[in-house]
């Protein structure tokens, strides 16, 4: 209820201040969104942080399914902060965030100390796979206002996949900057679990088990097996097509049922970016990742997305 009122208040403030110059209005909207994020952060039992298209929806579905089974909730109950907590107080309040706006409100730009008192799951994925998925999100699913707010190419722009991926404010440089900022703060966050999407794909029961243990809701092997089976890629595509999670807004609804690239669950392939570029483009992408991405995530070569878990996986300092 408080979140809904916060969104209504933000929309009302922006409507009343329609006369502001566009840059100032954008700064105000980011500030207001950051204030809402801080309020949720302070109430959350756990925070899942990720750059967009890093596997968050898959993790959200698995966590939702676990709590559905454990607490006898309907299949369509997709966790969205405290909605499931209101159905059963034993279910933790989990905040999912892309860490887009908090710093616009708190002014904390140099580190992630805003999260110092929170239990944080940091979900990461090879930045080239993220960038490609972001392109299709931008092209088929992202609202025009969000494109402006987060400095993506304008709505309807004729931007190629490679140009988008190499673009400073939307592609690899932005994603790598996000990951590096979090890597720098890992030693300073007392309760942090780093999880790689690639490890979740390779060992989903093990990865999900670690996450549930970390957030204080341990699962049995039988429960983990059932949850992972439910969240298989082909089943998630069916769930999205059938609009099973329609109560979650647009999170799990295809933009166009006839276009597979408009689905939230699009391909889920580890290292899939290598299918989308020629040799020269791949060389530029791999060089940029190798030279600029913090090595502690383990993405240090063109075939690294199939590597084993990096040293950074686990709790902070582990």
Query: 131 and 25 in one domain?
Result: no
Contacts of 159 (CB under 8 A, 6+ apart): 153, 167
* Amino acid 92: pLDDT: 97
Is residue 60 located within the same domain as residue 200? yes
Cα–Cα distance between 194 and 177 in angstroms, integer? Answer: 17
Whether 283 and 195 share a structural domain: yes
Q: What is the pLDDT of residue 78?
A: 87
One domain for residues 30 and 95: no
DSSP for 204-268, written as a single string: HHHHHHHHHHHHT----HHHHHHHHHHT-HHHHHHHHHTTTTGGGTTTT--S-TT-GGGSSS---
Contacts of 109 (CB under 8 A, 6+ apart): 103
**Statement to judge: residues 78 and 22 lie in one domain:** no
pLDDT beneath 50, residues of the chain: 246-249, 252, 254, 256, 258-259, 261-264, 303-318
> At 119, which CATH number?
3.40.50.300
State residue 1's pLDDT score: 59
The boundaries of the domain holding residue 15 are 1-40
Which tokens belong to 168? Answer: 């400073």
Same domain membership, residue 293 and residue 159: yes
Question: Same domain, yes or no, for 13 and 143?
Answer: no
Number of structural domains (the chain) is 2
Residue 136 and residue 50 share a domain: yes
> Within this chain, do residues 174 and 77 fall inside the same structural domain, yes or no?
yes
> What's the predicted TM-score (pTM) here?
0.85
Outline where DSSP puts E strands in 89-247. Answer: 94-97, 120-124, 192-196
Q: Two tokens at 97?
A: 């965030």
Rounded Cα–Cα distance for residues 307 and 295 (Å):
13
Contact 160, 305 (CB under 8 A): no
* Whether residues 85 and 24 fall in one domain: no
The residue behind tokens 């799990």 is 252
My answer on whether 285 and 239 are in the same domain is yes
Are 35 and 69 in the same domain?
A: no
What does the pLDDT read at residue 6? 74
């Amino acid at each position: 209820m408080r979140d809904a009122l916060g969104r209504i208040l933000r929309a009302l403030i922006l409507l009343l201040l329609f006369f502001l110059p566009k840059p100032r209005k954008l700064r105000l909207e980011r500030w207001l969104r950051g204030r809402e994020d801080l309020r949720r952060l302070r109430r959350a039992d756990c925070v899942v942080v990720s750059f967009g298209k890093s596997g968050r929806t898959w993790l959200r579905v698995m966590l939702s399914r676990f709590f559905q089974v454990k607490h006898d909730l309907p299949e369509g109950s997709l966790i969205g902060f405290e909605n499931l907590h209101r159905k059963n107080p034993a279910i933790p309040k989990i905040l999912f965030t892309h860490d887009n706006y908090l710093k616009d409100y708190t002014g904390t730009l140099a580190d992630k100390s805003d999260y110092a008192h929170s239990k944080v799951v940091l979900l990461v994925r090879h930045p080239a796979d993220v960038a490609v998925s972001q392109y299709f999100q931008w092209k088929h699913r992202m609202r025009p206002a969000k494109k402006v707010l987060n400095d993506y190419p304008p709505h309807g722009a004729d931007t190629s996949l490679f140009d988008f991926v190499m673009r400073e404010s939307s592609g690899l440089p932005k994603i790598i900057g996000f990951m590096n900022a979090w890597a720098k703060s890992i030693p300073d966050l007392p309760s942090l679990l780093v999880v790689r999407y690639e490890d979740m794909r390779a060992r989903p029961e093990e990865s999900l088990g670690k996450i549930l243990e970390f957030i204080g809701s341990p699962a049995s092997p039988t429960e983990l097996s059932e949850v992972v089976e439910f969240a298989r890629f082909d089943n998630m595509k069916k769930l999205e097509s059938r609009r099973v999670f329609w109560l979650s807004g647009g999170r799990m609804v295809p933009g166009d049922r006839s276009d597979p690239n408009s689905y939230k669950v699009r391909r889920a392939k580890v290292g899939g970016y290598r299918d989308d570029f020629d040799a020269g483009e791949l060389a530029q992408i791999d060089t940029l990742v190798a030279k600029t991405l913090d090595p502690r995530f383990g993405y240090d070569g063109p075939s690294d997305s199939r590597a084993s878990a990096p040293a950074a996986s686990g709790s902070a300092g582990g």
